[in-house]
A and B are shown apart, each in its own frame.
Chain A
Amino acid sequence: MLPFQQPELITDQLKTLGNIHREDFKNIDESIRKGFNALELESVHRVYALGDGDSYHSALSTEMAFSEFSKIPYLPISAMHFLEYGADYIPVNFPRDTIVIGISASGGSRRVVQSLEKAKQVSDKLLVAGLVGKVDSPLAKVANKVLSVQLPELGRSPGIRTYTASLMGLIGLAIRIGEIKRHYHMQEANTLRGEIVDMADMVDATYQAAIEPAQEAAQLFKNAPFISYAGSGPSFGSAYFSSAKVVEACGLFAVAQDLEEWAHVERFAYPLDFPVVIIAPPGKGYWRALELAKGVKTLGHPLMAIIEEGDKDISALADIVLPVKGHVREAFSPLLYYISGTVFAYALAKALGRSMFMTDNEKVMEVREEMRKQIRG
């Protein structure tokens, strides 16, 4: 059974995020470059990225990066879905034309390991890789190629630093594929990599800027029956991750939905005043986020917005704004736009007086141990 997990584990992680950009990204990028050779990346025409939990969210969040830089079909998929409803239907045409990447920070996620085993059984023409936070893990052993996103250990942790590392690994791979396929020169690729390093100060500033409004929001929303998150494109992944942190941090139910889909479905949910969090960086989906924000307010929901500092439109509608400090291209926004929601998750845990992963409730934890074994083996 997990030992007692204080919510402060979240802020311990958040304080170090800037240094992952400054110091660790270059190691992650080097691992990506060494993971596949030029012939393999030139040949690839399709990427499956699969995972569970945070790893799945990182796959969702990086779809735009693959679309924009590698310009090949990219399929983010949950490990269970890939295992039983995906692997058997992969079109296997030529050697090395498909990469299957299993993502797992611990390297021990059972369904991800099984998925890579299945992929290897389906065909030896597939490039089967593990994006892992532990290079001596079961996933690393089963993969044909290991892409290490290992970070210096900081002790037991919720998946925050490892989420950043997974995002960096996937975005780094997207850039690398585009570079090898000559969609842009290596100098341009290095400029993109430089943008990721240069985000360090924005990351630190965004964390600091979220603290006060997140506390205010936590007091307002701590008695809500659930929290509803909405975002599109890369922000759908950010919304998914942010909602997961609320559930993990304090057990308050939270759920993510696409901006458009929210208007089709969630608008019919009771109570009429459940809080809505919209994640909306500047970019392709912003217009729809603004429309939804107007709609949400008209329906009577309290609205919290995770938006770029200086935003004038959605900020005018929101009851609470968690400002993102700095401007990044939308494909890189997942590296920045999950931070505020994570601070909010911490603030909720403190407001509710709960520990992470139900570790303060021994009776509840005993019952859940069986399920933990199902996912870890």
Chain B
Amino acid sequence: MIKEIPFKTHQQQTWINLLDEVNAIVAESGVQEGLCIVHNPHTTGGLFINSYLDPNTPEDIMHEWDRLIPTRFDFFHQNDTPTDASAHVKSALMGISCTLIVHKGALLLGHSQGVVFAEFDGPRDRKLIIKVVAD
């Protein structure tokens, strides 16, 4: 079963925790033991699992990505914009999917772990693709 979570981002660089939405899909699936694959189909956004309880934590993570890969004018990719070019690099290095364990009908995550979409070149219309597979 494949489901999508559509959403919009509203800033050039931002993050969104989608743990609740992913949990809802897992619950709807009825799978008790299995895997949940979360896939981000965008090349200018990333996906990471980390703490969301203090919003400053994802904020720090986003800032660190920006420090490591600042928007520059001399990317080889000149067809679009400098922020788009840097977003491609950030997305590639961060990664765009994760595989989570489903146990007793729920995601097996640490208590502060969220499923966070990282927007590197918004605002845009985005989505995550979720597949829940039973053992």
Contacts and interface: CB of A to CB of B under 8 A. Distances in A.
Interface string A339-351: 0000000000000
Interface in B58-87: 73-75, 78-85
Interface SS, B side: loop
Given A42-B73, A185-B124, A187-B124, A37 B84 contact: no
Contacts of A187: 124
A29 to B, nearest CB: 10
Contact of A182 (B73, B79, B81): B81
Interface residues of A, number: 12
Given A185-B123, A185-B124, A39 B73 contact: yes
A347 to B, nearest CB: 43
A337 B124 CA distance: 34
B76 to A, nearest CB: 10
B79 A33 contact: yes
B21 to A, nearest CB: 23
A52 interface: no
Contacts of B79: 33
Contact of B80 (A34, A37, A182, A186): A186
A280 B83 CA distance: 39
A63 interface: no
A2 to B, nearest CB: 41
B81 A186 contact: yes
Given A38-B73, A39-B73, A185-B123, A180 B82 contact: yes
B124 A38 contact: no
A126 B97 CA distance: 46
Task: Give 8 closest A-B pairs by Cβ, nearest first.
Answer: A39-B73, A38-B73, A38-B82, A186-B80, A186-B81, A37-B78, A33-B79, A38-B78
10 contacts: A34-B78, A38-B73, A38-B78, A38-B81, A38-B82, A39-B73, A42-B82, A182-B83, A185-B121, A187-B124
Interface of A: 33-34, 37-39, 42, 179-180, 182, 185-187
Interface of B: 12, 73-75, 78-85, 121-124
Given A42-B82, A185-B121, 12 more contacts: A37-B73, A37-B74, A37-B78, A38-B73, A38-B81, A38-B85, A39-B73, A182-B83, A185-B122, A185-B123, A186-B80, A187-B124
